Amino acid sequence: VTPPLGLVALLGRPELHPALREHLRSQLRPPLESVGVGDLAEATSVLTRRKRNGPSAAPPQAPANPLIPPVVPVGLGPAQTPQGATDGSGTSNPSDGTDAPRRGVLRADWTRKHRERRPAVALAFLPHEEVEGDPNAWVSLTRRIDALRDAAAGAGCALALVVVGDDAPERLPEDRVAALTRQARIERSALVSMPQPPTPDAMRAVGTLCANLAKAYYVGECARHASKTLPGSIDAAEPGFKAGIFSEFHGDWGGAWRMYKTAYDGLVAAHVASEAAPRSIPDGAVDSFGPVQARFERMAVAERLHYKLCALHLTLNPGDPGMCVAQMRTHHDAFKRPPAWLPPAALPRHWLWVARQHRAFAELLSQRTPWGGSASAAAGAAAGTMPLPSPPPPNAPMTYLPGFWYHAAANATERLRRAAESVDVDEGNSASGDGPGVVDGKYVGTFARGDGPITDAEYLGHVNARLPSAPELVKTSIELLTKAHDHFKRTAPKDGSAGSARLFASIVARLARGYLLAGDFASSKRLFDSVAPVYRREGWDDLLGGVLMGMKDCARHAKLNSEYLEICLEIAALGGTSASDAVAAMAAAQAAMEDANGTEVTIGMGTTPRSGHSSGGDDHPLARAVHCVAGFGASHAVPGESIELTVAVRSCLPAMLPVKSVSAVFGDGLYDWTSEDAVSELPARTWRTFVVKVTPAWGHPVNVVALVLTLSNGVRFRLELGDGNRESPRRGWLAPDERLPPAVNSGCNLGVHSLDLRAAPLKMSLSVNIDGPALLGEVTALPLAAVSTGDGLDDAELVLTVKEGDKAGSTRDNGGIRSVEASAPGPDVVLLRGPDSQSAMQPGESIVVGNVSAGGAWRGEVYVLWRRIGPPATLAVELRGVRSGLPAESGGEANAALETAAELSVRAPFTATHRVLSAYRTFALVLDEPAPTGTAEHASDGDVTASTVSIAAAGSILAVDSVRATAGFKGDEGAIVRGKNGEPDGGVELGEGDEFLQLWPRRAGGDAEDALDVTWRRRGGLRPVRSVLPASRSRVPEGKVPLTVTLECPPRLHAGAPFQMEVRCRNDASTPQALTVRVVDHAGFVYSGAKSADVTVDPNGSQSSVPFTLTAVNSGEMLLPDLEITAKGFGAQLRLPRVSRELYVLPGERQQAATAVV
């Protein structure tokens, strides 16, 4: 399995062999191995003659001539083949039914032969004194050179000569060089000189010579065998494998991989075809090489080719095993499934081969990937003596990890063990396959007796007799699973998913079964105990059943009677799985209960879910054997007042359980309860319900701990309920066919197992009286009342908190109305302690209530001020204090609290609309700040505004004290509307929907913001309120503007009567201005004449008019035509706004006459 190294034969001068051998190994790439003899005369002992180079035992064949028929030996027919010949397919050709000597796929010793006995180079050392000595020495040397030449030619290797001597020159004389190369028939480069002792340069020269000659030899051999390779055929296996080996000899790893791949593909194609239609054995040919042996021979050759492919790929790409993993999957898919015709006795051999493939691949990944790492490497990294292995690539599949294949090898080993157990070894040996004559065959994966084949039955008997024993297989399985677990622990992603947990749990469970089979019950129990909680938590019942069966065997061998009983009960509660029989387990449990009289089985009922549901705590093993739910009617109670504990019990075992008595165990023995009449039996999967009455007492906490069921055989089931004072989520783990009894659904709070005697509901009411929505800016009183209905409260206080609504989703429009407090920082709504308070209450600030006696009451007020319009807010009111009148045994003071909430909303007191009365159809063109469209619109100076204010307060009467016009919020209060003698007279009372009109002049100024300031008071209100109603209009420009446009028309218009609309343009600029007046839209009017006109207006206040004649079609509210005035010199346009075009058209004369007639 190691990479092959080329071989060099060192001939003569043995004292030079060690140094040269070390140089060939350490200084050359690829390295070379060597064999040697000390005497040139013994060269033939290492240069063995090849068959293809030696004399043939048969007479040479005559040259093939297509015109002369081939000569057939005497005694053979024309269709026969001489004995021993093959048809070229790697198998014999017994077409006549006889058994000719068979030729296998690949010789078993071929690779070793070329690594150890077939040198590529013969390196002969010649004495210098003989090379340049007297003629007699030269004659003797030439005879030895001839012998070396013939031996190298017979061995098929290259010959090289090294002249060695103390006075050997670096360059030999040319006549001696020519004579030596001519005599040895070698190239000039194959002759070197080495002085003694050898210099580094001479040693490098000899090493380079060996490397070059070996490479040329192996390249030639590779090409020779590659030419014989036929892709897609089994005939490609042998030459392809040999060509790959020769490629490795000379360091061509890529070429070697391609040749191995060609050989492997051809072998797999032949194997697939043979699996579908195996070769039949002729009748009577009992010694024939059968299809079973042929199949395992192909698998053995494929194993070698596959290993070479994977090892080469991982050597070239250690960080990218993707192609290698794909090759392994192809290899696995091609050979993993035994064919239907394969006899059962061959299955152990098959699974032994599969296990070996997976293990070998796992070892490759472990040794040749950065994230592999052996156990020693991991221990060294933990100790700090070795670097940490690199992690696998992100999102790498599990097949990249060695643990995956160790796990697969363990699975195959387990199947091997089962197959070996099912084979009758004595029957398999009946064919004497294990006789003394059966030995390893000449070909890979074969056996033979002498020189002849053996039958398939003999083959199977031989290999099955040498299978590992069952204990050895168990030990191997444990070793593989341990390696898989360790590798996964280091390299598998730890994402906490169910798949990751299941992987590790399955490996641990397999390890536990292995230790159980090996008789190590302590280790098996330890591993089973670690994996069972995982299967319970995830709800993997099928896997859990198998684990429980193993745990039961461990408990039986360890004589753990109580644990054995609990495991039997849990298996029975599973309801029957693929790994367990519930009825048999229940019978075993009943037998164990008879032997365990008086034993108490504790079952935790606090956190265990039903199968398939996850839970946040550790799962109790027997939680599914018996279900128990319980709960008080409330989480608190009043001492001296009876309260009921409702309990429901359900057996999930397949057999009925006779019950002797039922007991409820409390934390305080004062409340312990026992009954022999509550439950007499627990039928299979049926609820039994009973009620326990408890009367709490001060100084004795109420906490039910467990329910004890005593069976008729003396075994006690203690169902631990656990502490709890809140509802349990146990309804979620009920099975689909499992429903709680009606008494449990309606009469108790599941999971409430303890009562709080100091937290009983406070017998007191808390109310907040809200009389409709508040008005913006108004201080509103909220009456508060705390009335005792039985309990007293000392040191009471009220804590008020306002939570504003979501402003992002609010769509309320108040028309821009504001309160004078709108600019104050803070929330929209605040709480005040009094109507005249200047500071708001802080969140969580309390109001002192004091002591409220039993049957007494407290009343007070808090005030609300809305600063800004917003969504409704929530007022939370909490009454806190200390219960009064508790006895000394209650344990001291008991705090109590009572909460309520109310919604606060706000409305605007007014809505306002504003209209211009004076010169409202005159607009100016301003050039210093144009609008985005090039149009700037401004009303002209000196306008008068008419503001209509409507009362919007729902169901309220408002007294309006004063209305004043202001220029924004700059202190200009304008004119104040007052009563007689200039003093407020209480105002005018107005209801919802009432309106009043306010006329006020338009104010000029660049930053003017006009508004109405209204002072008002709600009937019965606490104090006057000021509201600001902004007038949203265009600001008035200061100074002169270059162009103003006035739209004029008759004051009274009748439908159907023509009238003239005049557009008057005034130019205050110093240059004449060219204007274009165009009608854009004249809906509702009929025109006569042009709809567009060009006019030039003289400078310095000159005016020009453009008349348009039109007729209104209908009467009522109308809009004059839309006009567009373009000032070409300024490059700007003016579009008159809607307000400047509004008018009312009176009915025409005909319409009035028709109305009169009607």
Whether the Cβ atoms of residue 1002 and residue 945 lie closer than 8 Å to each other: yes
Please give the full DSSP string across 1097-1157, using - where no structure is assigned.
E-STTEEEEEEEEEEESS-EEEEPPEEEEEETTTTEEEE--GGGGEEEEEPPHHHHHHHHH
Among 1014, 597, 968, residue whose Cα is nearest residue 776: 1014
Distance CA 189, CA 219 (A): 18
Pairing of β 1122-1127 and β 1025-1030: unpaired
Helix (H, G, I), strand (E, B) or coil at 401: coil
Is the peptide bond prior to 392 cis by the omega test (within 30 degrees of 0)? Answer: no
- What's the CATH superfamily of 764-807+819-902? Immunoglobulins (2.60.40.10)
Q: What is the per-residue pLDDT for 51?
A: 73
Whether the Cβ atoms of residue 495 and residue 486 lie closer than 8 Å to each other: no
Whether the Cβ atoms of residue 912 and residue 948 lie closer than 8 Å to each other: yes
What is the Cα gyration radius of the chain? 55
Give the count of beta carbons closer than 10 Å to the beta carbon of residue 520: 16
CATH 2.60.40.1180 assigned to domain 626-758? The reply is: no
The CATH-assigned architecture of domain 910-1030 is: Sandwich (2.60)
Q: What is the per-residue pLDDT for 619?
A: 55
Pairing of β 857-866 and β 779-788: antiparallel
Facing residues of 829 across strands?
A: 866
Helix (H, G, I), strand (E, B) or coil at 498: helix
Helix (H, G, I), strand (E, B) or coil at 1017: strand
Q: What is the per-residue pLDDT for 941?
A: 41
Pairing of β 657-666 and β 702-711: antiparallel
Distance CA 383, CA 377 (A): 10
Give the count of beta carbons closer than 10 Å to the beta carbon of residue 55: 8
Give the count of beta carbons closer than 10 Å to the beta carbon of residue 336: 16
* E strand or H helix at 930: none
Distance CA 773, CA 872 (A): 9
Q: What is the DSSP letter of 697?
A: B
Contacts of 105 (CB under 8 A, 6+ apart): 90, 234, 237, 238, 267, 297, 298, 301, 443, 444
Among 640, 364, 652, residue whose Cα is nearest residue 487: 364
Among 707, 604, 613, residue whose Cα is nearest residue 662: 707
Ramachandran quadrant class, 1021 (left: phi over 0; alpha: psi -120 to 50; beta: rest) = beta
The vertex-699 CA angle with 693 and 702, nearest 5°, equals 35
Q: How many CA atoms lie within 13 A of 709 on its CB side?
A: 25
Distance CA 921, CA 918 (A): 8
Structure tokens at 433: 């396959």
Distance CA 691, CA 678 (A): 8
Distance CA 960, CA 951 (A): 10
For the purposes of burial, counting CB atoms within 10 Å of the CB of 982, is it exposed (0-12), middle (13-18) or buried (19 or more)? exposed
Distance CA 621, CA 599 (A): 17
Pairing of β 121-127 and β 6-11: parallel
Structure tokens at 48: 């063995």
CATH number for region 496-596:
1.25.40
CA terminus-to-terminus distance, the chain: 121
Among 108, 88, 109, 91, residue whose Cα is nearest residue 100: 91
Structure tokens at 94: 């017994």
Structure tokens at 482: 């341990």
Mean pLDDT by 10 residues, the chain (1158 residues): 83 92 91 92 89 48 37 33 36 41 81 91 92 85 92 93 88 89 92 90 93 94 90 84 92 91 92 80 57 92 93 86 92 91 93 95 89 63 59 85 92 93 59 65 87 86 91 93 88 68 86 92 92 85 86 88 83 62 74 70 56 43 81 84 88 85 90 87 86 87 89 83 57 62 76 80 85 85 88 87 74 61 76 84 86 88 87 89 72 74 87 64 55 42 67 80 64 38 61 77 54 82 82 53 83 87 88 90 84 90 90 88 86 78 80 41
- In the chain, the amino acid numbered 682 is L
**CA torsion sign, 341 to 345 to 350 to 351?**
positive
Among 617, 614, 648, 618, residue whose Cα is nearest residue 631: 648
For the chain, the structural domain boundaries read 6-51+100-221, 308-474, 496-596, 626-758, 764-807+819-902, 910-1030, 1043-1154
Query: Could you give the residue ranges of the DSSP H alpha helices within 250-338?
Result: 253-276, 291-316, 322-335
- In the chain, the amino acid numbered 343 is P
SS3 string, 1116-1132, reads EEEECCEEEEEECCCCE
Q: What is the DSSP letter of 580?
A: B
The CATH-assigned architecture of domain 6-51+100-221 is: 3-Layer(aba) Sandwich (3.40)
Give the count of beta carbons closer than 10 Å to the beta carbon of residue 594: 11
Please give the full DSSP string across 415-476, using - where no structure is assigned.
HHHHHHHHS-HHHHGGG-TTSTTEEE-SBTT-EEETTEE--HHHHHHHHHHTSPPHHHHHHH
Facing residues of 764 across strands?
A: 788
Structure tokens at 456: 């398939």
Structure tokens at 560: 């753990």
Is the peptide bond prior to 169 cis by the omega test (within 30 degrees of 0)? Answer: no
Q: What is the per-residue pLDDT for 361?
A: 94
The CATH-assigned architecture of domain 1043-1154 is: Sandwich (2.60)
Q: What are phi and psi of 1023, to 5 degrees?
A: -160, 160
Helix (H, G, I), strand (E, B) or coil at 157: coil
Distance CA 479, CA 362 (A): 13
Q: How many CA atoms lie within 13 A of 1019 on its CB side?
A: 11
1061-1093: b (≥16 Cβ within 10 Å) or e:
bebbbbbbbeeebebebbbeebebbeeeeeeeb
* E strand or H helix at 846: strand 846-852
Helix (H, G, I), strand (E, B) or coil at 25: helix
Residue 494 to residues 321, 387, 989, Cα–Cα distance (Å): 21, 21, 78
- The answer to whether domain 626-758 and domain 910-1030 are alike in fold is yes
Q: What is the per-residue pLDDT for 207?
A: 94
